[in-house]
Structure 1
């Protein structure tokens, strides 16, 4: 019996030590996801996109003094789903993912980026002295003003990851959105052909976000 008690104690000790080392090892960051919700996505693709983001978020240590998560969706309009202050736990975030609506409509990335700049990474919303990270997932759409909006975000110190889905995604537009570098193993730019392929880049994306969070 004493041997069994000692075994249980050691197992609890191991879990306790490793439990705080989730994903980025406890590094702090404000990470915001901007998701395409236009008519070019089917509802099935919309759900696959959300499942991918949920899997990514699961790999972070969530909390108001740790990694905070926010999310917005866009088509020709922009809608914030939840901000950095909304949820304190991973369980709360997972439940929030089940409530994300599907917008439909045209794709206007420029509008969405402007809203992010004006209402998300501001002094009263985002924390000082932590990395500010934006992950944009889209399957296309391009507006002349999106290069300017992306540049303004970059100049604010926001690290922008651009994930293009399907062969229809505008690569030039994605390159304008993504922070530098864009063409090597440190790239802020990702491409997949189908929404079900997003899982193939999950580990690489999380690794890159963690590196940025460690700056």
Structure 2
């Protein structure tokens, strides 16, 4: 319900003159025929800019378009092009005069049929005002087309300079002519019209008097004002108070699970066990911490081609649980057999989709199982800044995940130790004939939290699901309080506190299948 508050005329005589323009859709129609000298055209530029400086410019206030004409019509910018004064001034200063004939009727027709259309930014129920500035007689007929424009609701001001014909000006302008027709002796006096025109667009800003009592917004009109509420509220029957709306039932909120309304706004929540993603609307099982993660996958001949495809799907299943981006989690992939090959470094791909596509294109190497050589390559190359690892000073966790299906053909002890001494968090995933003693050497402490084993390749998808618990930040699990970084002495201490929380949250994920190669590792 919209209630208008009318202010008595007698009161307006006792209060200061407070001016506010619009909203208006205003189009300048500028004569740039050859008879307009360069310095005169510069005066027209200044005329338009001076008027702009007095208007309340904006998408919801006054919109302005500019057209120049001579023998043709050229749209410089439309009503929907600019919503800031600075951009309009720049557009006006870039106008290059056409310097041809004077087809004023053609310009009015263009204004009516093109400039004042919804496609060009014209708004319904907003006054249409056209200001024509010309220095001569039209070379075409103007009376009929101007009458048609006025019938369509366009208010026309005609400004003639020097040689302009008064009869033609009156044929163009809206009545009463004393308010809409201006003839000045020279371009230097054009500012006189500017001053009068400003008054024509100016209304008393009744809202500025401070006694409107509107809860949210006050909108001035010709003889008074009305109140308007912010998004999420509706106007009370008294025309002033604003009442909270249930936005969840009023707008397209986009929440995956549930929308909760608040005064003037809303927010999304997720079901228990899921987390709200960065877009504030989607729900997911995990939002990973920012990490540098390198997969080290066994491509030896014992894996076999069909199982190698399962390994690649395992990698992509883990990638699906990560927030991959250049600033978030980075992922690299290394394959090893008798030799080591970087399939892609940490800095090559920055979206999960690109990484997953690259993983599926990896060719199976076959041959031997040089796990020690692979660990050496990962430590010396994969986590270097040259391959995309963030500087150690930034304290972004560096995580290595080693996947193997058999005993290494070289010694792993030295490099397994060095990786952990270098600050890497190491996960060891074994399948089939993988030796658990070797896996325990590779895994970070406590071993039972970073060591995974299954006898069957078809079960590694379960390991991928369990791994999500370890790469998610601790606070996302809702089970443990993460130390406030402000309470830590350094970022290193904060990282250590965070990793400690992660360890507390992780349960034993080693599957119940026993490996006959070793029975000493706890499951």
- Please give the TM-score of this superposition, normalised by the length of structure 1: 0.88
Aligned equivalent of 1:91: 353
Say whether residues 1:152 and 2:418 are aligned partners.
Answer: yes
Q: Quick one: distance in 2 between partners of 1:157 and 1:126?
A: 13
For the 8 Å contact 1:23–1:61, the answer to whether it is kept is no
**Which ranges in structure 2 are unaligned for 5 or more consecutive residues?**
1-246, 257-266, 269-276, 475-494, 500-523
- Structure number with higher helix proportion: 1
Say whether residues 1:175 and 2:175 are aligned partners.
Answer: no
For the 8 Å contact 1:165–1:191, the answer to whether it is kept is yes
Aligned equivalent of 2:293: 31
8-17 or 150-159: which moved more? 8-17
Q: Which among 126, 129, 154 is matched to residue 389 of structure 2?
A: 126
Aligned equivalent of 2:252: 8
Q: How many matched pairs? A: 208
Compute the displacement of 1:25 (Å).
2.3
Aligned equivalent of 2:217: none
Compute the displacement of 1:22 (Å).
5.5
Greater relative contact order, per chain length (Cα 8 Å cut-off, separation 6+):
1
Residue aligned with 1:8, SS: coil
For the 8 Å contact 2:369–2:409, the answer to whether it is kept is no
87-96 or 9-18: which moved more? 9-18
CA RMSD of aligned residues (A): 2.3
Residues 202 and 26 of structure 1: is their aligned pair in 2 closer, same or farther, counting only changes over 3 Å? closer
After the TM superposition, which residues 179-194 of structure 1 pair with which residues of structure 2 at under 5 Å, given as runs?
179-183=444-448, 187-194=449-456
Aligned equivalent of 1:165: 431
Cα deviation digits, residues 52-84 of structure 1 (max 9, x gap): 110110011000110110001000110001111
Q: Quick one: distance in 1 between partners of 2:248 and 2:385?
A: 53
Q: Structure 1: which 4+ aligned runs deviate by more than 6 Å?
A: none
Say whether residues 1:62 and 2:62 are aligned partners.
Answer: no
Compute the displacement of 1:10 (Å).
4.1
Q: Quick one: distance in 1 between partners of 2:401 and 2:323?
A: 17
Greater C-alpha radius of gyration = 2
Q: Quick one: distance in 2 between partners of 1:26 and 1:170?
A: 30
Q: Quick one: distance in 2 between partners of 1:66 and 1:139?
A: 31
Q: Which among 406, 428, 434 is matched to residue 140 of structure 1?
A: 406
Residues 25 and 44 of structure 1: is their aligned pair in 2 closer, same or farther, counting only changes over 3 Å? same
205-214 or 81-90: which moved more? 205-214
- Please give the TM-score of this superposition, normalised by the length of structure 2: 0.38
